[in-house]
Amino acid sequence: MTAGGAIPGPDGLLRCPWGLSAPDYVTYHDEEWGRPVHGDDALFERLCLEAFQSGLSWITILRRREGFRRAFADFKIASVAEFGEGDRERLLADEGIIRNRAKIDATMANAKTLARWAPGELDALIWSHAPDPATRPAPPTTAAVPAVTDESTALSKALKKRGLRFIGPTTAYALMQACGLVDDHVADCVARGAR
């Protein structure tokens, strides 16, 4: 086994090392990360959570995910687009989420922007930046996984050009990984190719 390569879990199955670093990660790693996500509201949720994760560990967000869903109306774009100053103050006081004013404001502003888009437009824009899987060999170790790619940079620029905030190239790449636009499970991982 190469450092950063797949390691056996308690069940004997090989997984990406991060997928075994905390109990909360196993299900997320096995059943969600790297699997295709479609639908504007579902992608809006992932976009928001990745933005909230910026500067923090993903486990912090994962453990508060239900709190985020409650606070942000299950990430229904139409509902969040109606949020006003009272909602902002409610969110800033909500201990079930990350109470960062800039990230809360970006989430509310992004929902208002996305509410003006045609149904399916966010899905189509994000997925138009998925690279050809044939050009992406399985990473042998986690060290071989990039933090930013040309595609994530282009996605970030496209989203910003359309008025979205708090979505830099690194956040865009994390979104691409989480939503299955790329499969960054290491080569021997049980979840590799389970798309």
Residues 56, 173, 139: CA angle, nearest 5 degrees: 105
pLDDT in tens, 108-161: 999 999 999 999 999 999 999 999 999 999 999 999 999 999 999 999 999 999
**Lookup: tokens for 26:** 């196993």
Average pLDDT, the chain: 96
User: What DSSP designation does 15 have?
Assistant: E
| Interatomic CA distance for residues 132 and 54, integer angstroms | 27
pLDDT in tens, 38-95: 999 999 999 999 999 999 999 999 999 999 999 999 999 999 999 999 999 999 999 9
Active site residues: 28, 50, 58
| Interatomic CA distance for residues 195 and 186, integer angstroms | 14
pLDDT of residue 4: 82
pLDDT in tens, 22-34: 989 999 999 999 9
| Interatomic CA distance for residues 43 and 188, integer angstroms | 28
Residue 193 pLDDT class (50, 70, 90 cuts): confident
Task: Please enumerate in sequence order all residues whose Cβ is within 8 A of that of 37, keeping only pairs 6 or more positions apart, or say none.
Answer: 43, 46, 178, 179, 180
Residue 1 pLDDT class (50, 70, 90 cuts): very low
pLDDT of residue 153: 98
pLDDT in tens, 93-106: 999 999 999 999 99
pTM attached to this predicted model? 0.95
- Distance linking the first and last C-alpha atoms of the chain: 24
Angle between helices 40-53 and 169-178 (to 10 degrees): 130
